[in-house]
Amino acid sequence: MIILGSTSEVAQAFVEKALQEGEKFEKVYLFTSNKETTERFARHIDVKFLQQSEIIELDLTKEIDYNIFEHINSTLLFCAIGYLGEGTEEGLYDNRNTQQIIEINYSKLVPVINYFAHKFENRRSGTIIGLSSVAGDRGRQSNFIYGSAKAAFTAYLSGLRNYLFDKKVHVMTIKPGFMATKMTEGLPLNPKLTASPKQAADCIYKAFKKQKNTTYVLPIWGVIMMIIRNIPEFIFKKLKL
Ligand SMILES: NC(=O)c1ccc[n+]([C@@H]2O[C@H](COP(=O)([O-])OP(=O)(O)OC[C@H]3O[C@@H](n4cnc5c(N)ncnc54)[C@H](OP(=O)(O)O)[C@@H]3O)[C@@H](O)[C@H]2O)c1
């Protein structure tokens, strides 16, 4: 299994869930920009599940050396990489913030997924799970740079699913609403609309077993976003969302 964004608590909960359910992986490849924290998780799965793992450094703000990925073979890729950055009030006119949000959530991430998609395509098997966001369903004034990068990522996953369908590779789009993780630490999230990492991982694992195409992490978000998507633009532009 390949994990992109290994310090994500959702990614870690997904690995635990899959191992608990008895999924077998020759190795878990933990891609991370934060080696030290990932080493703790690697030790944890080694002790608890006797699962071999390998840590691979990946920082999307830096040059990527694809040669170090060459030996990696897998049938499952789980991508939890994401970067919220500053919202509109603080960050809209900060070009570095804008660039980082677009690079980490989309433009630097897509070539990495493509690299492994190509391997899956050649082997004619595998599943790619990408964590996008409800923020990509419609641009809202509070965080539309992040939302637009996630919208692009959602469109990419949709196209990749379509392209790889007859090559026997399945692509899943996960659209979390709020999740209580380090990304949202300190934000005033409505608990009824917020999933814990374990809840999210359980939901994603269930969707994986059912080979779903697109899944909202809490079903209520599917309803909320259907309403938001259908508000006429002449009303929507006046709302403070
Ligand atoms: N939390 C929410 O409410 C929420 C809502 C909607 C969507 N999402 C999406 O769900 C996914 C998981 O998010 P999370 O809540 O678990 O947040 P998180 O803990 O911040 O996880 C995101 C991961 O992205 C990786 N990352 C960040 N910058 C990177 C960089 N420059 N290069 C490479 N990797 C980088 C980090 O992994 P490493 O430290 O291992 O590199 C980080 O753990 C993300 O795609 C996020 O956008 C989250």
With the most atoms of ligand 1 within 8 angstroms of its CB, the residue from 83, 182, 187, 194 to mutate is 83
In a domain? residue 55: yes
Helix (H, G, I), strand (E, B) or coil at 105: helix
Report the predicted TM-score, pTM, of the whole model to 2 decimal places: 0.98
Q: pLDDT at position 27, please? A: 97
Residue 86 pLDDT: 96
Question: What integer is the mean pLDDT of 204-233?
Answer: 98
Asked if residue 78 has its Cβ within 6 Å of ligand 1, the reply is no
> What pLDDT, on the 0 to 100 scale, is given for residue 48?
97
Please report, for the domain that includes residue 19, its CATH number. Answer: 3.40.50.720
Q: Count of domains in the chain?
A: 1
Tell me the two tokens of residue 191.
Answer: 């608990």
- Give alpha helix (H) positions in the chain: 9-20, 35-49, 88-91, 95-102, 109-123, 144-164, 197-209, 219-230, 233-236
Region 135-162 average pLDDT:
98
Q: Is 83 in the pocket of ligand 1 (CB under 6 A)?
A: yes
Q: Are 172 and 212 in contact (CB under 8 A)?
A: yes
C-alpha 229 – ligand 1 centre gap (Å): 25
Find, among 106, 123, 203, 196, the residue nearest to 157 by Cα.
Answer: 106
- % of the chain at pLDDT higher than 70: 100
Is residue 241 assigned to a domain?
no
Q: What is the pLDDT of residue 168?
A: 98
Angle formed at CA 50 by CA 49 and CA 56, multiple of 5 degrees: 100
Domain assignment present for residue 27? The answer is yes
Residue nearest to atom 28 of ligand 1 (CA): 83
> In this predicted structure, what is the pLDDT of residue 184?
97
Q: How far is CA 8 from CA 13, 30, 117, 186, 194, in A?
A: 9, 11, 22, 16, 16
pLDDT (0 to 100) of residue 36: 96
φ, ψ of residue 91 to 5 degrees: the values are -115, -5
Cα–Cα distance, 76 to 169 (Å, whole number): 10
Which distant-in-sequence residues (6+ apart) come within 8 Å of 192 by Cβ?
Answer: 220
Centre of ligand 1 to C-alpha 12, Å, is: 11
Whether residue 61 has its Cβ less than 6 Å from ligand 1? yes
pLDDT tens per residue across span 79-99: 999 999 999 999 999 999 999
Reported as a single tens digit per residue, the pLDDT across 162-202 is 999 999 999 999 999 999 999 999 999 999 999 999 999 99
pLDDT digits (tens, 9 = 90+) for 43-55: 999 999 999 999 9
> What pLDDT is stored for residue 204 in this prediction?
98
Show contacts of 49-52: CB within 8 Å, 24+ apart: 49/19, 49/20, 51/19, 51/25, 52/26, 52/27, 52/28
Q: Are 178 and 216 in contact (CB under 8 A)?
A: no
Q: Is the CB of 179 under 6 A from ligand 1?
A: yes
200 lines ligand 1 (CB under 6 A): no
Which pLDDT value is given to residue 226? 98
**12-29 tens-digit pLDDT:** 999 999 999 999 999 999
Instruction: Say what the pLDDT of residue 39 is.
Output: 98
Mean pLDDT of 205-234: 98
Burial class (CB in 10 A: 0-12, 13-18, 19+), 176: buried
**CB atoms < 10 A from the CB of 173, how many?**
24
Full domain range(s) for residue 217: 2-236
Q: Both tokens of residue 192?
A: 């009824």
pLDDT digits 0-9 by tens, 111-142: 999 999 999 999 999 999 999 999 999 999 99
